[in-house]
Every structure is written in structure tokens, then in C-alpha cells.
Copies of this chain bind each other. A is one copy, B any other.
Amino acid sequence: MQPYRHKVQYYETDKMGITHHANYIHWMEEARVDFLDQLGFGYDRMEAMGVGSPVISVECRYRAPSTFPEEVTVAVRVARFKTVRIWFEYEMKKADGTLVCQGRSEHCFVSPEGKLLRLDKACPALAEKLTALAEGAE
């Protein structure tokens, strides 16, 4: 899996001269979408299967600032997977290797009507891939 690359934008900075901390939550989403896309389960395919994965919790620990116009890479991994829930972890770094932040997000799976889904029923092929990735992560 290729890490995701995000160019810090001018509008993402704040008056301290650095990336405003809330933007890292956006980049976690960008990287997660890209990760699932690389796995072959992009948003369009997931939507066609009727599977959404809303965020249940999110956290981020800031290690070093980034700023415009730097590029930040976001490495994503499946930290844990259960049939009804998944945890992703994120590590963001600058080109020189500086660790920018570490994040984590937790998601469930829902139908278009918002009903909770078991992923092994709703999308067994993805559930298998995520199980393998989560085992590799431990």
C-alpha cells in the first residue's frame, strides 16, 4: 500500500503560521478513502454495495507542526477489525522524515438507512482483506 500524499494548502494554515490542528482530521479521511481505494473498495463501490462507515471516534496526537507549502505523507494501517467495527491508525511525516502526528479513528458499518451492518455479511470480500491486514498489524 502506498502512503497518501497531501500538500498543505495556504488555507489550511492559521495565524500561528502552521497547519491548523483540525485539518489533520480531514487528512485522515483523505488517506482512509485512498487506502480503501487501493484495496479495491473505493467509495463508489462501497456505496453501490450499500455500505457506509461513519466515524465513531477520532484522536490525534501532534508531534511537530507542518505548514504551507510542505508535503505530508500519511501512512494508514488497519489496527484492528471486528465484523462490526474497524480501527485505523495514521502516521504523518514530512519529506525529511519528521513525525508530524499520529492519529486513530474507529468506524462502524451502516446501510444507507443507517442500520448497523456486519461487514462479513454485507461485504465478505472486504471483510477478508481487512481481517488479513489486521492480523498482519498485530
Q: For the complex, count residues of A whose C-beta is within 8 A of B.
A: 34
B11 touches A22 (CB 8 A): yes
B57 touches A29 (CB 8 A): no
B22 touches A26 (CB 8 A): yes
- Check if A58 is an interface residue, CB within 8 A of chain B: yes
For the complex, what is the distance from the CA of A14 to the CA of B26, rounded to whole Å? Answer: 12
Number of copies: 4
Given A10-B20, A44-B69, A59-B60, 15 additional A-B pairs, CB 8 A: A9-B33, A10-B33, A10-B43, A13-B15, A14-B15, A15-B18, A16-B54, A21-B54, A21-B55, A22-B22, A55-B62, A57-B60, A57-B61, A57-B62, A58-B62
